[in-house]
Structures are given as C-alpha cells and as structure tokens.
Amino acid sequence: MSLARVLVAFLLCTSLIAADNALRVSPDGRSLVKADGTPFFWLGDTAWELFHRLNREQAEQYLSTRANQGYTIIQAVALAELDGINTPNPYGHKPFSSTSPTLVPNDAYFQHVDWIINRANALGLYIGFLPTWGDQWHSSSGVLNTTDKARSFGQYVANRYRNAAVVWIQGGDRTPENDTHLALIRALAQGTETGMAGRQLQTFHPRGGGKSSTWFHTDTWLDFNMQQNGHCTNTDVWNRIASDWARSPVKPTLDGEPLYESHPICFNAGANGYSNATDVRKFAWWNVFAGALGHTYGCHSVWQMYDAGRSGINGPQQYWHQALTLPGAVQMGYVRRLMESRPLIGRVPDQSLLTTSALSGGDRIQATRGGDGGYALIYSASGQSFIIDLTKLSGSTITGWWYDPRAGTSTNAGSFAKSGTRAFSPPSNGYGNDWVLVLDDAARGYPQPGGAGNAAPTCQLTAPATGVTFSAPATITLSATASDSNGSIARVEFYAGSTKIGEDTSAPYGFTWSNVAGGVHSLSARAVDNQGAVGSSSTATVTVTTAGFVLGVNLGGGAVTVEGNAWRSDAQARANGMTTTAPNLTTTTIAPSPATDAGTNAMLNSAVWGPSSFTVGQVLGNGSYDVSLWVMENYQSNNRSFNVTVEGATVASGVGNLALGGWQKLGPYRVNVGDGRLDLDLVAVSGAPHLMGFAVVSAGTPPPVNQSPICQLTAPANGTSYTAPASITLSANASDSDGSVTRVEFYVGANKLGEDTSAPYSFTWNNVAAGSYALSARAIDNLGAVGSSANVSVSVASAPPPPTGGFVLGVNLGGAAVTIDGNAWRSDATARSSGMTTTAPNTATTNVTPSPATDSATRSMLNTAIWGGTFTVGQTISNGSYDVYLWVIENHQSNYRRFDVQVEGATVASGIGNLAIGSWVKYGPYRANVSDGRLDVNLVRVVGDPHVMGFAVFNAGTTPPPSGTWSTGSVGSPGVAGSATQNGSTWTVRGGGDDIWNANDSFHYVHQPMTGDGEITVRVASQTNTDPWAKAGVMIREGTAGNARHALMAVTPGNGVAFQRRTTTGGASAHTAASRATAPVWLRLVRTGNVITGYESGNGTSWVQAGSLTLALTGDVRIGLCVTSHNNGVLSTAVFESVQIITAPAGSG
C-alpha cells in the first residue's frame, strides 16, 4: 500500500483527541499559551526511546511518574535513535513495512505510538514529537534521504496526530551541514505543516552546541527556537538564550537538551565524574531567568530507557525506572511551581537589577522580573551575596522570600520600603547551596512562592531524646514517626550527622545503631514520600561516654572529639587550670599519615611549641592516671627530637623524629599526682619540641575500641539479571565514625573480586559466567576494622551457544579474496552474494603504505574500502555470540575523519579513525550477541566520512592468536616455576620471581621472535595481588637473559601502571609512572625503527602515551607477555585477553 493510500485510510477512520489543545505563541512573542490564553510553562523530559523501547505497562509507569512530578511535556522520537528502523518495538513491530522505493508506514507500530500519546494527553502531558532522529535525514543511507520521502513522512505523522496535544520537533540531534540537509529539513517541516494544517507548533532540535536560529529563525514554519547546550557543566547558557532573545523577528526560545542528570560530564566520567542534581538544576534556573519559555530536563538512564539486558550508551548508572526519582528529576517541578506562582506573560530577563557583579561559571547570578515590575526573581547558583536596585520594582513596599530550589519551599526574607539599593545574602553558600530571592510589590498580594504542589512529608525523631547519655560501645535505638498529606511514605532514613546509618520502609519506623563509639552524635530522620519529596526531623544530640575519661586538651586549637571523647579547646583549658611555658601557638593544614578522622585531623593541625624545652601543667585531683600525648611533624621531615618527662620522671626519649605528616600517639604513661597538679615537660634534644594534644584517663582504663566502618552496596540492585559473559559494576558507600576508610573490597560469596581505595568506591567484574551470585562489599578502616554490607543477589543467564569453531568469516570490503592472519577472507563480491549488505554508497582503491608495515595480503586489504556518510554493514549469520574486528587505515589525509561504531545497536567505540595518513588500526574485538540471524555494524559519522577496509568475525572468546611461534619459560631464576596456557586470544600466565628491576630480572615470559617494526596490544583482565609491586605486562626484550635490555608496559596491584626499561645490558632499570589504574586495563607497546613507545587505555580505543625511548635492540629480539610475583616463592596469575601482535620485517612495505 502506498503512503498516500495509508494517509487516506487513516484520515477516514481515526482521530485521537477532538479538543482544541494546541499551543500558541503568546502575544508578546516570548512564551507559549494554551488555546484559552492561559500560560503554558514548558517543563520537558527527554524520553527519546519511549515509543521504541517501552511496552504499555512501562510507559504507564514512566508517564504517570513524570505527570506527578509536574512535567508538562515529554520529548520522544518516532524513528528512534537506537536502530529504530530495524529493531522492533516491544510488540515486534517496526515503523515501516517497506522503505523502498517508497515509504510504507506499519500501522501496527504507530498504534503503539497512538496509545502512548493518548495516555500522556489523558495525564495532562503534551508530547514533543520528533518524527525522526537526525540520522535518517543527515545520512544519505537514511530512510528520509529525499525531499519527497521527508515531506510525505512528515505529512503522514502530522495527519495522524493533528488533533493530539503535540508540539512538533524537527531535527533530532543533528545539524544541517549543506544545502541538501537544509532542503530535507524544510521538506519534513513543510509536510508536517500540511499534515496538521498549521494548528500545532514546530521547532528544531540541533546537535550539542547548536541553535535552531542559526539556520531557520526566519522560516515561517519555525514557531520558536530550540538549542542544545550539550553535556558539560557550567556552560554559559545565559548568553546563548540572550542571543536568541535579541533576534528579530521575536520568537520564544528554549534549551531543549541540557546536561543530563547522572551523565558522564563532557562524556568523560573518568576525568570529570558524573553530573548530579546541583549541576542540572543550575541550568534550569539560568535558562529560564535568561528568558527561556521553560526548560527541558534529561536523565542519562531515562533517555535511552536503559534496563537489564540492554547495552548502555556511555555508562548509565541506573536502570531507567530507578532513575525516575533522582533528586534533579524531582526538583525540576520546583522550577515550575515558582514560575507559575507569578505572572508568566510579560516576564523579561533583566540583569540590570543587579548592581554588583553577576559573576560567571558555577557562581553565576541571573535575574528576571515581571514586565510591569510587580516581582523580581534573582537566582544565585552558589549562594553568593548581591545588591539589588529596588527602583526596578513597582509599589512602595517590597516583600522578600528565599526560595529553596532543592525543596521547593520558601522562608520570609522580610518587608521593607522600596528605596535605592539593598544587599541580600542567601541563607547558605557554596556548591549545592543555590537560592532564589523573590521580591514582590507587596500591594500585588502574591502568595508565598511555590504555590500548590507535592507537599513534603513531615518527620519527627521520637527516640532518643536530645541530651541522653550512653556508654561506649553503645546500642542506640532510633525511632520516628512520618506522615504525608498528599501521598504516602516510601521510607524513613536515619542519619548520624550527614552519614546515613539505616532506613525502614514501613511503620513503625526504627533502626538500631550498634557499637557506637564515644563522642557527641547528632541524630536525625528523613522521610521520603512516593514522589521523592523529603521531610527532615529536628536533630537530637546524644553523648556516648568512654568509661574512665578525665579530660583532653587540643593545644592551640578548638574543641574537638577524639577517640569518642569531647576535648577542651586551648582557651577552655587555660580557663580551667591548664598552663604552659611554650611561647608559641601554630595551626597547619597537613594531611596526617596514616589518615585519620576529622576530629583527630583538626587536633593534629594545631600545637604549642617553643624554641627550647617547655612545660605543660594541668590542675588535677590527686590520684593515679594514664596520660597520652599526640605529636605530628608539621614543618619538615626529621626536624626535631625531644624527651618527655611526666611528674619529674622521663618516660620517653628521642621522640618526635617523624616524616612530614607522620604522627604518633605517645603513651599511655602512668602518673601519680599528689600535689593537685599534673606536670608534663618536653625537653629538647634537637630542634624545637611541640605538642598537639594530651588526654588523661583514670589509671587502668582500657584503650578505646575501634568502631567498625559502615558499608552499603548500592549497585547492582538486588535481583538484577545479566547475560553471560556479563560485565557487572559493583558500587558502594562507606564511612567510619572514628577513623577513615582505607579501602572497600568487593566479594562474590567468600571470594574477593577486587577493591577500591578512594570514593566513590566501585569495581567492575568482567566476563561473568552464567549462574547465581551473592555480591557484597566490605569496608576496612585505618585500624583494620571491617564493616560488611548486606548481600545482593544477581543472576547471569547463559548466552546463546555459538556455532562450533573459531574463525567464522572475513570480508575484504571493496577488494578481492585475501588471507589475513592465516584465515581465508571473502572478496567484496562473494560477500555480497553470501548475505552481506551495506548502505555505504562508495568504494575506493588506494596505494597507501601502511604504518606500521605489514604483510602483502594485509596491505592489499587495507588499500580497498567502502565509505560514505553514516552507513551500515550487515551480514546474515547464525544466532550466537561473536567477536568482531574492523580494519581501518587513513587513505586520504591525516586526521580527516572521526566516527562512532555501533554493533547490534550498541555503541562500542566513539570518535575512532582519527589517524595520520597511512596509519592503520585493527579495532576490536567487539562482542555481538546476534538473535535475529543478522549481524549489524553501524559506522556513525562524527567528522568527515566514515570508512572501513575489512572486518572479521570469530566465535566469542575463540579469536586465534596472531601468527608467530610462541615460546614460554622462565627468565632469570624464579624460586618457583611458572606456566602459561592459551585459549584463543587469551593467555593465562603464572609467574614467580623477585622482580623485573635493577640489573637482573626474574619472571615468566611468553614470547615470539620480532624483526623490524611491530606492536603488541593486550587487555590485562586480572592479576593476583602477591605484592603491591607484582607486575603483569607486555615486553620487547633483547633475548631471554636475566640482565637483557628491554622495554616494558606493566600494571601492578598497588602502584598503578608504568613504562619501564633497561637500556644497557646488566645496567640499572628506569621507571616512568603512568596512571594509578589496576587490572583490568589495556596496554600497548610499539616499536617503530629504534623508538619504543608505551601506551595504556581504559577501553582499548582511547590511548594515552605513558613513555617513549630510543633503544636499538639487536640479535634475538623477543616480544610478548611477562609476569613476576615480586614474591619469589609464590606464583602470581595474570589473565591477558585480546592478545594481538603485529610485526613486519624491517624495511618491508
């Protein structure tokens, strides 16, 4: 059936919603209004895969949640980004029955879209409808690659939804780069305009950093502008919105895709971390106050509807349904709440309200006001103070409010006469402490800002009462009551200070805190309702005492809690009988080693000191005591030495000789006080004595008991399912009440998987086989105490069995049959007659010299290619799990192109192909799980035209090793014999030995001969921690003698990655530290001429150089894998995956 006939049939039989719900541009051209003239505040969410990936039950959950949170419009795509043409929706339907020669929409697919739009409209939500993601018009291989197809499809969907509550959004994260692109967009928009008869609004969604106004501002179909600021923090969106505001003719403007919540900042989580609620909240207020008609929120897990069994794009941290109530998602509703509490129409941005600097970056202050001066709103992104020109407002009396963007509540800031300027300081400041000042003309009678909305629950901590005292180690039972006036309580969380110690999900709400250390503790409870709003209780302060404690003094500093006991400040001590002859006080900011808790840290960074001996005295009742002293070196290493005398008796000699930051607790020293005064003398031996603090306890009091840290496994969620071979990321929170967390270890059952020594604590467990697993985490503090999390159960299902054998097929794209790495590849023609298809429109044959040099067959393959804009290569293949490799060489000009690679719809590499002329890379392996009888590989254009020279497919995990004869054996004299086993491209190597270092080495080596240029690349998947300096890596070596010259890239369990070398036989070794990574990590060693260079990578595609040297190796040169345990009688085991060696004879070409 033709598209025209489908249109006619549809128009005769259906109409979704028969109400005038279309939006209009407001009379002033700055906002949107409904048909009856009431203002419409755009609060959007990017649910790009909603139509494509969610079934109706899931869509109901998503839509109802967003409606309850106050959203007004959902942005979703008909022809979705993640293989929306070929991968069916949850009901097995694709959007087209046929795409050639004309488009034939599949009514069954669009019936599901009908249902979602109907349901959204019934919940009061508009749909921001993208007919297509940008790849379908931006690429010549897209289904909307002609103006006729673009126009007809736009008309089809617009006709179908002409009576729905819809706003049309063209583009789809792409920007036009030529006249063809412009013509396609305008044809799509014109078809849409015709289909909905001009009754609905249209805009354009560009790529990151783009704005619709750049190309279409004067086009009559564009009703308002949209821009995308991208996914970095603190972008100057106020300038970008202001630029659109100033354009003529006047049109409203909007940021339609800002930084998503829980997104890798600037797409680099390793360097920048993930965004949080504060980061995304700032963009909403900056955009709106700069003049935007509203704001679109986004969440990294939600846009792609990431869930169990799906490959995540750019590392999502939660499943979509878990992310629906992230703090930023809830707090967007507070923006709408405030804006709708004041007149929206006529509002203007006005930085002239500020008479002080508006600041920039993360501190930016942005202002807006009612057009008639009836109100003003000033947003301070980090709580910085400012001065306002009150003459910009109407009336004679001004009422002020501080509105909290985190809670959607406000507190009165007073009333005052409108006169001149006035300074304002928000209630708090610093990162995460943003505030909105609301100034009203009191005569207008505006309500307290915020208006109606989800009211926060109330919460009261009923036990313990404030002021109660316990004895350490204490057991404290916390109880709370909670209620919600317009919803239900989801949970009550209990806190000690800012640390969550537990929660309860049902009334009566309670938690028992056990083994509580001495000290003063601030306890509270927080109730969380069904919409994510939080209500906090007041704080109860309790004291846990340690038996026998008499006093402690923080010399030169303030009051602190040390070892659970409340110490006096220096000033309090001097007022209560303490004296000293030390003439000097000092405060520092040294990091103590070993690390300790905040109270002890503060105490160690204040001191009394003298250029010579001094005394500290303390009025004290007669009796027998134990005295302890604290010292830390705060000036320079080994700077001082002194003796300690207590009550006239020398109890310690030559103490205080410490490295910078090193600290000691001296004592306890037994003293008998008979004159009502304790006397301590610090007697100089060398340097100036100093003392940070002292504590006195009754004689015989046992030392304080170290309290175990608290540990919670936060990911994966209990019950999560995976498919083998799985990659499972474990994440945990940990805290310690009387010290510091030194590491968090992750376990499966009783077996340790790995550890992390710094927050946020996480570990990725790779290649997990099918089975059921109990996962947990254990936090270890600075004194060795352990706190364990509860177990989390996960399951890993078996992968579909692949065909037997290793090599499946290889294709020389655009060229003849060849033999690569010993495998017979098909020619391009044979492949096309054997189930291979491609949308690449071009082939190429070149005569480029590959670098590094390679054999003649590989050179021939690298000099043929297919290329074009974004394109797909498909291959019919049996269902199963495979490893896919791609061969790419730059054959046109250096650094000409970059492109992404998607395998089976999942992005497996980003921005690759950026090579010097003649440089080539074998990319992969990329794991593909084929379930529809077809392997699909997409090359997605970033810059320039993607191309690929060849590809090969192997059964998963069976990729053969590179050609060459392997040898394995000991180098030097390890105390225990090593071994090595091979499984395809994976080697398991066990090695002993003292080290690879100094003048002689001792290790196990797996190697093959090397002549000329070449390289070795591996993924060190795991490594046994036999010593922090155990090494596993890749080596190029001049023979196998223990003292041979070599270069090495190695990873260690405790000292990171390094580039190491010995440049003279029997000479010293040298070491260049790289990152602090541990296994798993990718390593590469490259020899070009006499230059050897080492690289490391976290993903096998983006490489960082670790070091390079000129080393002319001669004779029996060997390249391979090395393992040393650094513990001579013990074997260290390392697993090397994806082992790849490329070598060529010297001078070959």
Q: How many Å apart are CA 1105 and CA 1095, to the nearest integer?
A: 4
Which structural domains are found in the chain, ordered by start?
3-22+39-339 (3.20.20.80), 348-444 (2.60.40), 458-544 (2.60.40.10), 547-698 (2.60.120.430), 710-797 (2.60.40.10), 807-955 (2.60.120.430), 967-1143 (2.60.120.200)
Is the separation of the CB atoms in 590 and 661 below 8 Å? yes
Element (H, E) at 519: strand 519-529
Q: How many Å apart are CA 858 and CA 840, to the nearest integer?
A: 22
Q: How many Å apart are CA 479 and CA 494, to the nearest integer?
A: 9
* Separation of first and last alpha carbons in the chain: 57
Identity at 70, one-letter amino acid code: G
Q: Which residues contact 204 (CB under 8 A, 6 or more apart)?
A: 169, 170, 171, 185, 189, 212, 215, 216, 222, 225, 226
* Residue 964: predicted pLDDT: 56
Three-state secondary structure string covering 277-345: HHHHHHHHHHHHHCCCCEEEECEHHHHCCCCCCCCCCCCCCCCHHHHCCCHHHHHHHHHHHHHCCCCCC
Is the separation of the CB atoms in 461 and 538 below 8 Å? yes
Element (H, E) at 188: helix 179-195
Q: How many Å apart are CA 613 and CA 693, to the nearest integer?
A: 16
Is the separation of the CB atoms in 154 and 187 below 8 Å? yes
* Residue 378: predicted pLDDT: 98
* Residue 799: predicted pLDDT: 52
DSSP letters for 371-384: TTSSEEEEEETT--
- Three-class SS of residue 779? strand
> What confidence tens digit (pLDDT) does each residue in 853-890 have?
777 888 899 999 998 888 999 998 888 889 899 999 99
Q: Which residues of the chain, if any, have pLDDT below 50?
A: 1-19, 452, 800-805, 960-963, 1145-1149
Number of alpha carbons in the 13 Å side-chain half-sphere of residue 949 = 27
Q: How many Å apart are CA 711 and CA 735, to the nearest integer?
A: 7
